[in-house]
Amino acid sequence: MSKPYVRLDKSQAAVLLVDHQSGLLSLVRDIEPDRFKNNVLALADLAKYFKLPTILTTSFESGPNGPLVPELKELFPDAPYIARPGNINAWDNEDFVKAVKATGKKQLIIAGVVTEVCVAFPALSALEEGFDVFVVADASGTFNEVTRDAAWRRMEAAGAQLMTWFGVACELHRDWRNDIEGLAALFSAHIPDYRNLITSYSTLTAAK
């Protein structure tokens, strides 16, 4: 049975970046390391571009999971930063849940490492509490395709929507006329082929 189209709305959305930590990133094998990090930073850039409330959280930093990827902290120096002492499911951490609810947003855009744990557990918990959950599949990573696909199926069955960072950006933007140069710059920074497209567009525009 099909469900109604729940469209991302920048006035209703918040971004949760869960456990993008240096140690955990080394476990990601379902997507190439360079591409994966690019996707994570693209998601972070679009969150900043659309001025979406963004929450950073880590798990057991003092252990093998390691520290948060430094670029994320640099991008969001004033964002809520929840260093969980041991909770595997971020939703089990009271400070994290308080930070999420303090945004006042109904739509949660979630990405993290690893997909079947750090993404799936808070996604399922948020769905249970009535949030609309959008999982950014290409900014979340795990051991292999088997574990990834199992996590995707579990979250989808509970009502989560799977998206990519590019899809998220386009759905939030709605109309190119809102800001051609700004969105084009974001895309060009993370998609080399798109940079070629925009170079062509800029050249043609300048010639008119």
- Residue 83, number of CB atoms within 10 A of its CB: 15
DSSP state letter for 60: -
How many whole angstroms separate alpha carbon 8 and alpha carbon 187? Answer: 18
Nearest to 49 by CA among 132, 165, 133: 165
Q: What's the CA gap between 50 and 13, in Å, rounded?
A: 10
Among 8, 69, 118, 133, the active-site one is 118
CB 54 within 8 A of CB 47: yes
Question: Is 170 labeled as catalytic in the residue annotation?
Answer: no
Query: Hey, what are 104's tokens?
Result: 């006042």
Q: Which residues are annotated as catalytic?
A: 118
